[in-house]
Structure 1
Amino acid sequence: MNNKIIGIVLLIVGTALAFWGYDVYNSAGAQLGRAIDGDTPIEAWAGMVGGAICIIVGILRLK
């Protein structure tokens, strides 16, 4: 029972992190930065990768 609750929480947090990272990636400032010097903000990568890891661990906890 406890593992299922942790899995559900990780899925929710992972989804929120992934959407936040994607939102940062598509922001106007990030697009301007990519156009000028080609760099993606570290917050975008951290949100998308961290969210994906949380989603994977959450799915594994639910099994």
Structure 2
Amino acid sequence: MINKIIGIVLIVAGVALAWWGYNIYDSASSQLTRAINGDTPIEAWLGMGGGVVSVLIGLTRLK
């Protein structure tokens, strides 16, 4: 039972983290930086990647 609760929390947190990372990726300052330098902020990659990993771990806890 506790594993299912942890899994649900990880999924919710992972979705929120991935959404936050995408918002950083899609922000106006990030778009300007990508247009000038071609660089993407590390926070965007960490947010999206960490969110995906968190969701995957959460899914494995639900089984």
Instruction: Say yes or no: TM over 0.5.
Output: yes
Q: Please tell me the residue identity of whatever aligns with 1:2.
A: I
| Counterpart for residue 59 of structure 2 | 59
Figure out how many residues of one structure are paired with residues of the other and give that number: 63
Separation in 2, partners of 1:14, 1:42: 17
Separation in 2, partners of 1:59, 1:10: 8
| Counterpart for residue 5 of structure 1 | 5
**1:55 shift after superposition:** 0.2
Separation in 2, partners of 1:38, 1:32: 9
Runs ≥4 residues deviating over 3 A: none
Separation in 2, partners of 1:27, 1:43: 12
Tell me how large the CA RMSD over aligned residues is: 0.3
Q: Structure 1 vs Structure 2: percent identity of aligned residues?
A: 63
**1:17 shift after superposition:** 0.3
**1:36 shift after superposition:** 0.3
Separation in 1, partners of 2:12, 2:26: 21
Which runs of 5 or more residues in structure 1 are unaligned?
none
Note the 1:1-63 alignment, pairs <5 A. 1-63=1-63
- TM-score, normalization: structure 2? 0.99
